[in-house]
Amino acid sequence: MAEIAETPNDAPDSSGNNESETKQEISDFDPSTMRKTKPGLKRLVLSLSVLFSFLLGLPFLLKSIEIYRAPLPFRDIDSLSGSIESAPLAFPCRFHAVFVGFDRGKTADEWTVDGLGNSILGQVNKFTGDDRVCGSCGRNNYSVLVTVDSNTDCVSSRSLGFGLESACSWRCGATSDLKLDDDEVVDEYLESALRGSEGCGYGGKVYTVVVVKRDEEVRAVVGKHRHAWIVGRVSEVDAVEKVAEIFIRVFVNGGKEGGVIPGEFMPVGADGKVVLSFNLLNADPDDWVYDWDFQKVDEILLTPVIEALGPVANISVESQVLYHTPKSSFSYWDGELESYIFSTKDLPFFVNSNEWHLDTSIAAGGSYVPSAKECPLLLQLPNGEISRTNSFISPMWGGVIVWNPPGCSTNSETMHLLGNKISHQDLEKVFEVFMGQLRQLFGLKSNNLYLGASGTFVLLASERGFTEWELDVLSRQHTCFNLLSCATTLGSLSRLVQSLPRMIIKDEIGKQVKFSLEAANLAQSNASLGIYEASAVSSRQARSLAEDAFFHPSIMSVSYYSFEHCFAVYSVIDMLLVTSSFGLDISVTDCISSLVTALLSASLVTRNSCCCQRVEKIQDRAEKIRSMENQRWKVALGYITDFLLEDSL
């Protein structure tokens, strides 16, 4: 009963408070300052002038937020990517087989010559298989011509395949007086005899194998150019198999079983450049210091190699002599060999990355001069044998050669030699090993033997380090690799640009994409004609331009110009113009700016429900609006802010 009796006493107090608040609100409206007439023509003119000013500045506003996008040929990019990814790039290959000294009664008539061609074609299909390897001839993309030389006249078959014309003639009796003992002499003689056949057919190169039947042991030699020869007591069946294996496994695949292996490629830069860094590493200069005449080596040994590899990569050379470059691991003394032994199992600890200042982004070659405390130093293979080259290679990086100074022995700690140079003979041996390592980095064999299914083949070495048929292999493989990389890069750029409609695309990017497509199409055209060097150069340009377009600075620093950004920036300016035109005070303008920020925050909160910081910003803006003195703006904007806050939460 007591609680019920107290209720009437509290009612007058609450009603009194409400009446006082109402009186205070009414007092805010001063009749003397309130407008008693409707807005007239002056207010209308002012409003129209503000509206006209806004419409007049609208084009400038749209121009200021315009995103310039150079047109990109998206269809051409998709066409290039589809053509390369759907079918591996295949080059036409032209083969010519010459049989010398075989029985005329069995092989001289036209039907039997064509039969030899069909047999070779069948063996070629056998070695090619069904797998289409990028950079190879593919299946049914080659031609075979057979010539039988009986020393008195010659009979040639019809071209089996395509593109090989009868102009690829063989001079009858060319090998009748030739001694086949000296491989170098035979190689140069066949080069002069077959030089006229290089231009036969519709462009491209012709690979020739000459089979000479003589009463001696069978030998197969692959020359430095684009020909090979087989000499000895060989039957037609064995000769056909050997000829087909040389055509496919050697001339086409470069002596590798699986054709192209991308992981074995040397790290050629996206711009097609390679820097070969040669380093002379003196482990302990307190014992001895060696130098080398690298300029002479560069002119005599390296310049021909760089020129030969010109279509594949733009190679530059640099050298340096380093001191205080010990290895990271220790060796042990072997009394039987009277040398210090370093096991190849510890090779990961040989290169001292802390002391050897080598650039890992280039192909490095190091000649390591051991200290007197571990000289002579020999490398031991996993099978226990000593390395013949006393060197090792690191894939995709380079190689290191251990060079022991002359007279190096266990008592060499007393020797203190300064200002010595490595002799020219030793330099030739060192760079011969370097050349073998460089060949391995490019995915080629470093020895001069190929063990095939039909026998062993001797591979002659070129003075330039790479034979002509090896350069053809590299050109085909790198053409395929560059075109695939170009198509992938342009495809990624196309998808990126289309996914970001407000990304800025400069004219320079459009030109780079255009030129890249033109170079890629030119490379494909040259590849279809069998012009290997030109296709390699064009593909390298296509890849370089595609990489430049994708990694353009304007794309890497993309201006992600969202609509919310435009709204937050330009709406505040417009609101300031409107409020100043209507004579509103600064507090209202500040309120409108706060509301704009709240709207922006709310839109971001809607996209990410976990964005607690945005909710706090809305709450701050709401408190700022509630503290305003202008009641009409306070009520209107307060409702909107509360709605945004509730919707965000």
Confidence of residue 261 (pLDDT cuts 50, 70, 90): very low
| Triad 614, 617, 622: Cα angle to 5° | 130
DSSP secondary structure string for all residues of 359-415: -TTSEEEEEEE--GGG-SEEEE-TTSPBPSS-EEEETTTEEEEE-PPTT--TTGGG-
Q: Is the model's pLDDT at 332 over the cut of 80? A: yes
Instruction: Single out the residue of 109, 100, 94, 107 nearest to residue 211, CA to CA.
Output: 100
How many residues would you count in the chain? 649
Distance (Å, rounded) from C-alpha 317 to C-alpha 16? Answer: 97
The per-residue pLDDT for 334 is 83
Distance (Å, rounded) from C-alpha 648 to C-alpha 479? Answer: 56
DSSP secondary structure string for all residues of 524-566: HHHHHHT-HHHHHHHHHHHHHHHHHHHT-HHHHT-----HHHH
- What percent of the chain lies above the pLDDT cut of 90? 11
Q: Which pair of structure tokens corresponds to residue 40?
A: 């007239």
pLDDT tens, 100-129?
A: 877 655 544 445 777 888 888 888 888 887
Distance (Å, rounded) from C-alpha 389 to C-alpha 379? Answer: 9
370 cis-preceded (ω within 30 degrees of 0):
no
Q: Is the model's pLDDT at 96 over the cut of 50? A: yes
- Segments making up each domain of the chain, as ranges: 93-252, 267-442, 469-556, 562-649
Distance (Å, rounded) from C-alpha 214 to C-alpha 239? Answer: 13
Higher pLDDT: 537 or 326? It is 537
**Among 76-85, 338-347, 543-552, 607-616, which is the least confidently predicted range?**
607-616
Higher pLDDT: 390 or 623? It is 390
pLDDT tens, 557-610?
A: 554 455 555 555 555 555 555 555 555 554 555 555 555 555 555 444 444 444
- What percent of the chain lies above the pLDDT cut of 70? 68
Q: Is the model's pLDDT at 639 over the cut of 60? A: no
The per-residue pLDDT for 570 is 57
**Among 56-65, 161-170, 231-240, 273-282, which is the least confidently predicted range?**
161-170
pLDDT tens, 154-203?
A: 777 766 554 555 445 677 777 777 787 788 888 888 888 887 555 554 44
The per-residue pLDDT for 636 is 52
Distance (Å, rounded) from C-alpha 484 to C-alpha 27? Answer: 81
**Can you tell me whether residue 359 is helix, strand or coil?**
coil
Q: Which pair of structure tokens corresponds to residue 128?
A: 């090619």
pLDDT tens, 382-440?
A: 888 888 888 888 766 778 888 888 877 645 554 555 668 888 888 888 888 888 888 88
**Among 38-52, 328-342, 405-419, which is the least confidently predicted range?**
405-419
CA distances from 603 to 593, 596, 613 (A): 16, 11, 13
Three-state secondary structure readout of 451-493: EECCEEEEECCCCCCCCHHHHHHHHHHHHHHHHHHHHHHHHHH
Q: Is the model's pLDDT at 630 over the cut of 70? A: no
Higher pLDDT: 419 or 265? It is 419
Higher pLDDT: 17 or 499? It is 499
The per-residue pLDDT for 242 is 92
What pTM was computed for the model?
A: 0.74
Q: What average pLDDT does range 349-361 have in this prediction?
A: 62
Contact at 8 Å (CB) between 280 and 369?
yes
Q: What average pLDDT does range 46-55 have in this prediction?
A: 81
Distance (Å, rounded) from C-alpha 588 to C-alpha 573? Answer: 14
Q: Count CB-CB contacts under 10 A for residue 103.
A: 11
Confidence of residue 502 (pLDDT cuts 50, 70, 90): confident
Distance (Å, rounded) from C-alpha 350 to C-alpha 11? Answer: 95
Distance (Å, rounded) from C-alpha 535 to C-alpha 558? Answer: 34
Contact at 8 Å (CB) between 80 and 89?
no
Q: What average pLDDT does range 222-240 have in this prediction?
A: 89
User: Which residue, chain included where needed, has tokens 């020869």?
Assistant: 229
Q: What average pLDDT does range 240-258 have in this prediction?
A: 85
The per-residue pLDDT for 108 is 46
Say how many CA atoms lie within 13 Å of 513 toward its Cβ.
28
The per-residue pLDDT for 137 is 78
Q: Which pair of structure tokens corresponds to residue 501?
A: 């409609």
Give strand pairing partners of 279. Answer: 320, 366
pLDDT tens, 444-461?
A: 877 888 888 888 889 998
What is the pLDDT of the chain when averaged over all its residues?
75
The per-residue pLDDT for 607 is 43
The per-residue pLDDT for 124 is 85
Phi/psi class of residue 358: alpha, beta or left (left: φ > 0; alpha: ψ in -120 to 50)? beta
Q: What are phi and psi of 83, to 5 degrees?
A: -70, -35
